[in-house]
Amino acid sequence: MKKTLCYKAVARKTDKMVSDGFIVVEIEIIDRVFDKQLENYYQESLKKLKSSIFPKSGE
């Protein structure tokens, strides 16, 4: 059985940019989650965040 590790973390922009245009961020890990129910909660939260940042066209 494969065990998935899920992180609750915060990313902060550092105001640095590398030469190829990528923005550098600092990531602070707040919590590690092994429990399947909590993992599902964090994965659902991530999906909601992604959909708010990258809305599907036609909505």
Which tokens sit at 39?
A: 């993992």
Predicted local confidence at residue 43, as pLDDT: 83
Contact, 42 vs 33, CB < 8 A? yes
Predicted local confidence at residue 6, as pLDDT: 61
Provide the domain limits for residue 23: 6-53
Rounded to an integer, the average pLDDT of 40-55 is 80
Specify the number of domains making up the chain. Answer: 1
Q: Is the pTM of this model over 0.75?
A: no
59, part of any domain: no
35, part of any domain: yes
pLDDT-derived band of residue 4, with 50, 70 and 90 as boundaries?
Answer: low
For the stretch 38-43, contacts whose Cβ atoms lie closer than 8 Å and that sit 24 or more positions apart, written own/partner, are: 38/6, 39/4, 39/6, 42/6, 42/7, 42/8, 43/6
45, part of any domain: yes
58, part of any domain: no
1, part of any domain: no
